[in-house]
Amino acid sequence: MNLTQAQTTENQDWNDSYLLNVNQIDEQHMKFFKLYDVIMSMSKNEENNSGLKEVLDELQNYIDYHFRTEEILMQNANSPDYDLHVIQHDFFRNKINEFLVAYNYQNEVLLDQIVIFMRKWLLSHISNMDRKYVDSVQQYLLKNSLNK
């Protein structure tokens, strides 16, 4: 059993435990899960890796938009651990760039690497790190909605 098959036994579907109750962010996180599902489907059908480049490009575009959204909200809300959060985002951006290079070199275990990395990100970053900014961002959004 390869690593991808091992990962598929613990399906990482979206569920309400991932909700942060910041609508814009929750919707974007759901998109991340959809991209993860596409990559998981590709990893189950190892003969059909066509479209991986397009998925990686879409993932790169998604994270650029999503991370920018989070970082602006966090900065405006004076959220704790902002600098650490940005460092983690930069790590993810760099990892996607590495995946794109690996794709160009036809890395045969690339899908396994992507699946493992994304699953860890889902479990650690969204579930733990993102929760740290929720209170400050919710207060900021509430304050701004009352001032309009």
* Domain boundaries along the sequence of the chain: 22-146
Contact 77, 133 (CB under 8 A): yes
Give the list of residues 6+ apart from residue 33 with CB closer than 8 angstroms, or none: 12, 13, 14, 18, 122
Q: What is the pLDDT of residues 128-142, one digit of tens each?
A: 999 999 999 999 999
Distance CA 92, CA 46 (A): 24
Q: What is the pLDDT of residues 76-129, one digit of tens each?
A: 999 999 999 999 999 999 999 999 999 999 888 999 999 999 999 988 898 899
Say which amino acid occupies 67: F
The listed CATH number (3.40.605.10, 1.10.490.10, 1.20.120.50, 3.30.1490.20) that belongs to domain 22-146: 1.20.120.50
Residue 146 has pLDDT above 60, yes or no: yes
**Which uninterrupted H or E stretch holds 84?**
helix 82-104
pTM: 0.85
